[in-house]
Structure 1
Amino acid sequence: MWQIDLDAPQYPEGLVLKLHAHKIGGDVEIINGLNHYIGMATLHTENFIEFKILPYIIGFFGLFALAMAIIAKRKGVVALFSAFILFTILAGVDFYRWNYEYGHNLDPNAAIKVPGMSYQPPLIGYKQLLNFGAYSVPDIGGWMLITGGLLIFIVLTLEFKWYQRFMKAKVALLLVPIFFLTACGSNEAQPIKLNTDACEFCKMPVSDGKFGAEIQTQKGRFYMFDDISCLVNYCEENKSTKVKSYYVHDYTQNNQLIDATKAFYIKGGDINSPMHGNIAAFATFSDAQNFGDKLKATAISWNEILNQ
């Protein structure tokens, strides 16, 4: 029904907590072990009455929907949709309460205590919890329920002929998905805070705005590096991490990130990068050529860097 993904450097493949209709699944034992250190209560299916009644609620909605498909009564469809909306609201409130209690009611004798810190996972979306990135999203069952709710809404829309109003605004409706596709497709680097952000590979502060690098994962998380070689080494050791975008510092600027796949590179010679990868990136070919001559460095491609 729902899942919470946890990403951290010590777990490159990630951990997942799956909330089925009748039980808690996934990496429960590992997560319980980690929660013990920060004072969170352990998770057990038998502690939640929701897992006992949720299968019956889902069954009820299934039978209700089937009955409405056979009877085809408008009032029945309205009642079904109203019940579904009420269930969605109550489920959201209950899930938030569940997350809040587990994230705030901590054991005062825990081994790890951070003053003022709570560990409440997000209701939906992403949240950083210490060195863990938590992603709370619907699982297959959740998407099926959402799809079911949308189908009921479509039936109501057609039944009450609301679509006639929507047709008048069809141009606006067509622009909505275009807007979201454009927004989702945009890739922007996250600025590196020099002398504050630490390299994900060597753990040293990123201090030089000419040699740093960054990746963005498919889940939207950013990892910073103080040297392009650190980025390469990290990706080599964490092949399960799905990278969406690569960024590198433009050598001619200070702390200016550019698309790594479109940059031009030189290596060696008199280049002296923080972790001695000795690779410099440039936004233009002419800059790479000019600095290559000055620094007695040789040209190298992005693919060669990743596969060296």
Structure 2
Amino acid sequence: MKTSRIQGWVRGVLILCGLGLIAVLFVPMWRIDLVAPQYPEGLMLLIHPHKLAGNVDIINGLNHYIGMKTLHTEDFIEFTVLPYIIAVFAALFIIVAVVAKRKLLNGLCILFVAFGVLAMYDFWRWEYNYGHNLNPDAAIIVPGMAYQPPLIGFKQLLNFGAYSMPDIGGWIFIGVGALLLLAVFAEWKFAKKMKKNYAVATALIFLTISFSSCSVQPEPIKTGVDNCYFCKMTISDEKFGAELLTKKGKIYKFDDVHCILNYLKTKDVASENIKDIYLTDFCGSHQLVNVNQSSLLKSEILRSPMAGNIAAFDNKDSLLKMQQRYPGAMVNWSDLIK
């Protein structure tokens, strides 16, 4: 039972996230709104993955008076590399959806969260540098005043109210992160459940096999139909058959004690895996008798199919009667298998 593949709906979510990241490339990710009495309609700085937009020129003019650096897209290496990073993540989301491996999903989540944290730190660092590294020769200098915009939320900067918040691309990015975390959590829960079910199923299978192996019984030998497992000959004499039963429930049939003894020497079935051995009763209806409960007679006059010339009896009295007809010696199974 495979538990390493992610669920179908999670794969769909990953593809949706990948497409969402592609859309981020074409819309602003963040915005900073400035509101002041002299600008009742407000000023807006839009941050795209590859450029700055909005009222950049007006904001640069205001920044000049208070000593802040002017903002230019080409001054930020982030605008060069960020589109490629987003495109790579979009591709990774789709690749993980196709490959559907849970380990890759977890790895993607770690990378994406780490990138998000690093990106926010870089944004804060950019705001800090622009708000604190002021021109000492600026027209307006307020001692102890810094003009760092808020990372997110509102901050009063002189007579300007500054609002910093995600724009369309930022909200998509946040949504992708939330969906990714949800997918990882759902897969963790699913994997945990599957492992539990797998453990239960394994236990049931084990119990079933154990029960089957414990309850397996000898199977009547069909002369003229069944073949000897060792010599491959058709079992032809109903008086000399043998069977080996394994603990896993397998049954091996033989046409002569000679064949089963030679098979045991091959160690094809280890002794610890043997459940029982049965021999055909030479007398009566030729029922199978457990070898540990049988009496064995070896006589050259018996002429068994493969010249083992050993007959089994379900009791010693039957053996003694047949011994008069087939002169020979009583033998022990333990001696035969040495």
Size of the alignment, in residue pairs? 165
Partner-residue secondary structure (3-state), 1:106: coil
Pair 1:87-2:111 in alignment:
no
Distance 1:110 1:162, change over 3 A: farther
Distance 2:163 2:114 in 1: 25
Equivalent position amino acid for 1:52 in 2: T
Q: Aligned match of 1:56 in 72, 81, 84?
A: 84
Secondary structure of 1:109's match? coil
SS at match of 2:45: strand
Matches of 2:145 and 2:169 in 1, distance apart? 32
Which string of whole-angstrom CA distances, capped at 9 and with x for unpartnered residues, describes residues 19-76 of structure 1? 0000000000000000000000000000000000000010011000001111111111
2-structure distance, mates of 1:151, 1:96: 25
* 1:139-191 residue CA offsets vs partner (Å, 9 max, x unmatched): 100111111111111111110118999xxxxxxxxxxxxxxxxxxxxxxxxxx
Note if 1:161 corresponds to 2:189.
yes
Distance change in 2, residues 1:137/1:162 (3 Å): farther
Question: Normalization by structure 1: what TM-score?
Answer: 0.52
The counterpart of 1:121, out of the listed 131, 135, 149, is: 149
SS, match of residue 59 in structure 1: helix
From 112, 121, 126, give the equivalent of 1:98: 126
User: Sequence identity, in percent?
Assistant: 61
What CA RMSD, in Å, does the superposition of the two structures yield over aligned residues?
1.6
Once residues 38 and 179 of structure 2 are traced to their aligned partners in structure 1, the CA distance between those partners, rounded to angstroms, is 42
Contact 1:157 1:163 in 2 (8 A): no
Distance 1:42 1:162 in 2: 52
- Match of 1:60, SS state, is helix
Structure 1 counterpart of 2:158, which letter? Answer: L
When residues 127 and 162 of structure 1 are mapped into structure 2, their CA distance, relative to the original with a 3 A threshold, is farther
Measured in 2, the distance between the counterparts of 1:90 and 1:21 equals 15
Match of 1:183 in 2: none
Mapped to 2, the partners of 1:35 and 1:160 lie a distance apart of 50
Q: Deviations over 1:203-243 (max 9, x none)?
A: xxxxxxxxxxxxxxxxxxxxxxxxxxxxxxxxxxxxxxxxx
Q: Does 1:146 align with 2:174?
A: yes
Residue 52 of structure 2 is aligned with which of 24, 35, 44? 24
Distance 1:114 1:56, change over 3 A: same
> How far 1:133 moved relative to its partner?
0.4
Structure 1 range deviating more: 51-60 or 150-159: 150-159
Amino acid at match of 1:142: G
Aligned counterparts of 1:162 and 1:130: Cα–Cα separation in 2: 53
The structure 1 segments of at least 4 consecutive aligned residues displaced by more than 6 Å after TM superposition are 162-165
The equivalent residue for 1:131 is 159
Equivalent position SS for 2:189: coil
Following superposition, the deviation at residue 124 of structure 1 comes to 0.6
Report the 3-state secondary structure (helix = DSSP H, G, I; strand = E; otherwise coil) of the residue aligned with 2:151: coil
Decide whether aligned partners of structure 1 residues 115 and 162 sit closer, same or farther in structure 2, where only a CA change above 3 A counts: farther
**Structure 2 SS opposite 1:57:** helix
Pairing 1:64-75 to 2, within 5 Å after superposition? 64-75=92-103
Give 1:92 shift. 1.0
Q: Distance in 2 between matches of 1:115 and 1:162?
A: 59
Structure index of larger Rg: 2
Change in 2 beyond 3 A, CA 1:162/1:35: farther
3-state secondary structure, aligned to 2:142? coil
TM-score, normalised to structure 2's length?
0.48
1:7 aligns with 2:64: no
Output the CA distance in 1 between the equivalents of 2:163 and 2:99. Answer: 41
Segments of structure 1 that go 5 or more residues without pairing to the other structure are: 166-308
